[in-house]
Amino acid sequence: MKKLYFLLPFVFLACKSGTSTVNEKESKTEAKPVEISYKVEESEVSDFLKYLSSDELEGRDTGTKGIEKAAVFLEDFFKKNNVKPYFKTYRDTLTNFKLPAFNIVGVLEGTDPVLKNEYVVLSAHYDHIGIEKKQQPDQIYNGANDDASGVTAVAQMAKYFSKTKSNKRSILFVFFAGEEKGLLGSKSMVQKLKAQNFNLYTQLNIEMIGVPMKRDYLAYITGFDKSNMAEKINEYTGKKTIGFLPKEAEYKLFYRSDNYSFYDVFKKPCQSLSTFDFENFDFYHHVSDEFKVMDIPHITNFIQELLPAVTKISTSPTQEIVMNK
């Protein structure tokens, strides 16, 4: 997640004084869950996240050898799971960065002859902030929570759809570079998609899901009031999966991740899901954001609970998720 430096000292100070959840809004939940028999394997979640946040990748700074290794790893994952490149290759070159840098983009075509012309985008950013220049015992910003955790979730969703062939709409699986440098990867990509008259239904971006919140919902969504996405996800899962986090609205997180680039161009429901609530993780943009502090059962459960929602999003006969007027 980009550019929260100036916020965090004040946010954590406020958190220590006690954050009330009494006035937090709730989205409506209807008992219409989608049944999913597929099981996400905790060991696969662990192995994927452990490598992506390892020292070998040197903090995955955009334009470096470390993120190149991450790109190859993600390409290999797509190949192994029969997810095809959306462009000529999996690599979508950034047009707004001085060094060679790439988004990694795969696609699964929808199974419905009509709905396959509509696209759902599932995304996360695979870059982080690299290596600390000052000499200290640990210099690598591994970015396990930010955002190797989100990449892991999107990758597991790609595997799920590849195995089940349950998507009637086409799905783009996108791992963005350059997010930490100002949403560069998503800003570059949306211009190309717009020029293609890309038929976007909705985008669900996943950002920092490595540890759970102590709340009565699983995750929050950015821009809660901008669409009915939270309500529909809860309807599809049959649970209180998504809630409203006041801090998200206060700090305008809707504008701080790659969902905003898509919303800005397409004006469709494009939002991010997160479980980083400013109280549950002390290592934002810190060298201690490492695999060892990630809650693997929580991440696995997050992915599992979202599968009914992303399935319904990709199969509903009409576009049920809409912008609020």
Residue-range domains of the chain with CATH: 8-13+25-315 (3.40.630.10)
Neighbours of 84 (CB within 10 A): 12
The whole-number pLDDT of residue 32 equals 65
Average pLDDT in the 246-250 region?
A: 96
Distance CA 270, CA 255 (A): 11
> Can the peptide bond before residue 289 be classed as cis, meaning omega within 30 degrees of 0?
no
CA-based nearest residue to 271, from 258, 280, 284, 252:
258
Amino acid at 269: P
Let me know: does 120 contact 313? Beta carbons within 8 Å.
Answer: yes
Tally the residues of the chain.
Answer: 325
Q: What is the pLDDT, as a whole number, of residue 34?
A: 87
Q: What is the mean pLDDT of residues 69-74?
A: 98
Burial (Cβ within 10 Å: 0-12, 13-18, ≥19) of residue 137: exposed
Burial code (b: 16+ CB inside 10 Å, e: under 16) for 285-311 equals: bbbebbbeebbbebbbbbbbbbbbbbb
The pLDDT, as a whole number, for residue 10 is 33
Neighbours of 59 (CB within 10 A): 23
- Range name among 17-31, 39-53, 115-129, 247-261 with the lowest pLDDT average: 17-31
Cα torsion 243, 249, 250, 256: sign = positive
Q: How far is residue 231 from each of residues 58, 91, 238, 241, measured CA to CA in Å?
A: 39, 34, 10, 9
pLDDT score at 4: 60
- Match 């004006």 to its residue by tokens: 267
Are 173 and 142 within 8 A, CB to CB?
no
Least confident of 32-41, 147-156, 243-252, 262-271: 32-41
Q: Under a CB-based contact definition with an 8 Å cutoff, are residues 192 and 89 in contact?
A: no
Q: Which residues of 189-214 are buried (b: 16+ CB within 10 A; e: fewer)?
A: bbeebeeeebebbbbbbbbbbbbbbe
Helix, strand, coil % in the chain, rounded to nearest 5? 40, 15, 45
Percentage of residues in the chain with pLDDT exceeding 70?
A: 90
pLDDT band at 16 (very low <50, low <70, confident <90, very high): very low
Phi-psi region of 11 (alpha: psi -120 to 50; beta: other; left: phi over 0): alpha
> What average pLDDT does range 230-250 have in this prediction?
97
> CA-to-CA distance for 205 and 324, rounded, in angstroms?
19
- E strand or H helix that includes residue 183: none
Instruction: State the DSSP string of 39-72.
Output: ---HHHHHHHHHHHTSGGGGGGBTTSHHHHHHHH
| Average pLDDT taken over every residue of the chain | 92
Taking the C-alpha atoms of residue 108 and residue 129, their distance in angstroms, rounded to an integer, is 30
Q: Read off the pLDDT of each residue in 73-91 and give the average, rounded to a whole number.
A: 98
Q: Dihedral of CA 49/107/65/61: which sign?
A: negative
Q: Helix, strand or coil for residue 314?
A: helix
* CB contact at 8 A, 190 and 258: no
Q: By the 8 A CB rule, do 87 and 153 touch? A: no
